[in-house]
Copies of this chain bind each other. A is one copy, B any other.
Amino acid sequence: MDDARALAIPARADHSDVRRNNLELVLRHLNAVGSDSRAGIAARGRLTRATVSRLVGELIELGLVREAGRDGGGRPGRPGTRLELDGQHVLAVGAEVNVDYVSLLAIDFAGREVLRRRRAFDAMLAGPRASIAALAELCATAVDDLTARRRKRATIVAGLTVAIPGLVDVAAGVVANAPNLRWRDLPVAALVRQGLGLNRAPVQVGNDANLAAIAEYRIGVAAGTPNLVYITGEVGIGGGIIVGGQPLLGTSGYGGEIGHMSIDPEGPRCACGRRGCWEAYIGLNALMKHVRSNPPQGAPPEAKVEPVARRARAGDRDTLAVLEELGRRIGIGAANIANVVDPQVIILGGYFVDLAQWILPAAKQALAAGTIAPNAEGPRLITSTLGFAAAARGGAIDAMNAVMSNPTMLLAR
């Protein structure tokens, strides 16, 4: 960021950009359709077969694509050779630090999960230094295991992205403020990079909701929807926004901080000191208060929510009323966001998923009522299917995206 006030002047382009773009085209196409022949890629990508042949040759050389048998016949002509993404050589890792756990998820180049670990850990209690150490150790052993397990050929960890519930300056790799972890101005990327030792894999840091939104965009139920909003449901409420297929990071990476949107200036007091924040209505603590539940401090969100779901299943009228009101508040806030970014879908994650059946009707109604767009229904409101690993998976996907967008970066190790 040399000058924030420079009109967008495109960067110089030359042959290598054409090549990079077309390599990406082949990879994204294979990622989208699973497998295809050279001729098929050429037809769908508006390239000539000759060019695709050359591109595929380079990608095979790089270990990113492999041949996978012949096309079954059935029609005249020489059968094609099926090509698919090669998961053997390049991996990416996503990690997540949250209030009571550190977790990690690795995927191969084809997007398949190859490793998942989770370790209970009280980040607040341990303090930033010990937390980072624990995180770095978890990552380091995982990277060792991953590279040891598959010796056939050099296995490269292409990148590591750490998801944090808080405000992150993505470009700098610094966590500016994560209240739930009590972290402030912590250079997480640099610290983890140190902890990993010599390994030169690029380490990045991201906001958990933004990364979960990336995961939803790439592999969730609404995958491919270019405009979507993901809403985390934990103690804090975070938002991740995809606009035109790109995450909306904002000026300093603080985009989508929707938890402290004001719903009502005279509303209840929020932990942040203000009044009427959305989070004060729909955060997990607000729900716990309204249903008069008092779960143990350290319990994971699933455990805190389960008793409420049980009461709702049993038909307890007070609980159902609380959940309906919760849904209504969700819908009101979702409508505000929808009026700003006009997404196709809004995805509820976190604890909302387990209570969806009692929340969604009222939420959908309030959303439709509050949306100005004359689309028959306005944005669809759905629940995430990615579970609590969404953010870590999004981190891994994000790291892998860098390779997909510029495959020859692997040549620089």
Contacts and interface: CB of A to CB of B under 8 A. Distances in A.
Interface in A45-78: 45-47
Nearest to A344: B251
Interface in A9-53: 9-15, 17-18, 21-22, 24-25, 28-29, 31-32, 45-47
A332 B260 contact: no
A340 B342 contact: no
Contact of A341 (B340, B369, B372, B379): B340
B373 A342 contact: no
A260 B146 CA distance: 51
A330 to B, nearest CB: 13
Interface string A102-142: 00000000000000000000000000000000000000000
Contact of A225 (B4, B17, B32, B257): B4
Interface stretch (A151-159, A238-246, A297-305): A238-246
A6 interface: yes
A11 B160 CA distance: 28
A314 interface: no
B7 A223 contact: yes
A262 interface: yes
A242 B366 CA distance: 28
B257 A342 contact: yes
B12 A373 contact: no
A375 interface: yes
A5 B227 contact: no
A396 to B, nearest CB: 17
B261 A339 contact: yes
A218 B8 CA distance: 10
A339 B6 contact: no
A315 interface: no
A10 B369 CA distance: 37
A373 to B, nearest CB: 4
Contacts of A343: 250-251
**Number of chain copies forming the complex:** 2
Given A225-B4, A374-B167, A9 B28 contact: yes
A225 B248 CA distance: 15
A342 B24 CA distance: 30
Contacts of A411: none
Nearest to A245: B8
A287 interface: no
A244 B254 CA distance: 13
A335 B241 CA distance: 17
B339 A257 contact: yes
B374 A341 contact: no
Contacts of A7: 28, 31-32, 218, 223-224, 245
A223 B12 CA distance: 22
A225 B5 contact: yes
Nearest to A29: B9
Interface of A: 4-15, 17-18, 21-22, 24-25, 28-29, 31-32, 45-47, 167, 176-177, 218, 222-227, 239, 241, 243-246, 248-266, 272, 274, 332, 335-337, 339-344, 369-370, 372-375, 379
Given A15-B18, A167-B372, 6 more contacts: A12-B25, A13-B22, A243-B243, A250-B343, A263-B265, A264-B264
16 contacts: A4-B224, A4-B226, A5-B222, A7-B224, A10-B28, A11-B25, A13-B25, A15-B18, A17-B21, A244-B246, A250-B373, A251-B379, A252-B373, A254-B372, A260-B372, A337-B340
